[in-house]
A and B are shown apart, each in its own frame.
Chain A
Amino acid sequence: DVKVTQSSRYLVKRTGEKVFLECVQDMDHENMFWYRQDPGLGLRLIYFSYDVKMKEKGDIPEGYSVSREKKERFSLILESASTNQTSMYLCASSLSGAGYTDTQYFGPGTRLTVL
């Protein structure tokens, strides 16, 4: 089974703090994704990566950055946390197919509260 793990289930930070959310997958997947999930807005893509050292902006990248130094690890960084970044953050990974898209498998999520 695919396993995607996230470093924290719950996190509380203060406005202005730098926040790191870590995601690790154990299935040698090329693709990794960061989403946030908010009531009424569904899942929104923040950033994704198709390979080590590569990153692509998603739909809502403002206020976030990412790092992918190793294939299995994809980090989401909030440079200066703000209250509107309070949300559930979900990491996902998928295989990279030659001409096809594969299923994304999700981690358990990190519920971040910014005070």
Chain B
Amino acid sequence: GESVGLHLPTLSVQEGDNSIINCAYSNSASDYFIWYKQESGKGPQFIIDIRSNMDKRQGQRVTVLLNKTVKHLSLQIAATQPGDSAVYFCAETLDSGYSTLTFGKGTMLLVSP
């Protein structure tokens, strides 16, 4: 909601720039990862996911990179638009079918026209 963005790291970019949002995950055994976008006052929205048998996956204007060696995940947004302004957070889990997600705290992306 409107208070989700408090206390979060913020990335400010200009419209048209490429944005990179980073996530350090906690469990070296995690092998399924998801990026969510949350706009003010709304529930999280699925953006893209990746399993550990891949190190890169592309969607529409978004790319997720996974580096398991250093437990790092990144979300790249190409040609960022004002509508991309939101809180972005990653989630990790074990790809076993009965695991719960562990969520990162999130990064607020602010896109200026």
Contact B105 A90, beta carbon cutoff 8 Å: no
| Chain A residues with a Cβ closer than 8 Å to the other chain, count | 27
Contact A101 B1, beta carbon cutoff 8 Å: no
The one of A4, A88, A96 that contacts B1, using a Cβ cutoff of 8 Å: A88
Asked if B59 is at the interface (CB within 8 A of a chain A CB), the reply is no
Q: What total count of A-B pairs have CB within 8 Å? A: 66
Instruction: State which of B19-27, B44-52, B74-82 sits at the interface with chain A.
Output: B44-52
- A95 (CB) vs chain B CBs: closest residue: B97
Task: Given A37-B4, A90-B44, A103-B49, decide whether A42 and B105 contact each other with a Cβ distance below 8 A.
Answer: yes
Interface secondary structure of B, over-half rule: loop
Task: Given A39-B6, A45-B100, decide whether A105 and B1 contact each other with a Cβ distance below 8 A.
Answer: no
Asked if B60 is at the interface (CB within 8 A of a chain A CB), the reply is no
Task: Given A107-B43, A109-B42, decide whether A100 and B97 contact each other with a Cβ distance below 8 A.
Answer: yes
Asked if A12 is at the interface (CB within 8 A of a chain B CB), the reply is no
Contact A42 B89, beta carbon cutoff 8 Å: yes
B interface with A by C-beta (< 8 Å): 1, 3-4, 6-7, 32, 34, 36, 41-46, 49, 89, 91, 93-101, 103-106
Would you mind naming 6 contact pairs between A and B with Cβ atoms under 8 Å apart?
A33-B100, A40-B105, A42-B89, A88-B1, A100-B96, A106-B36
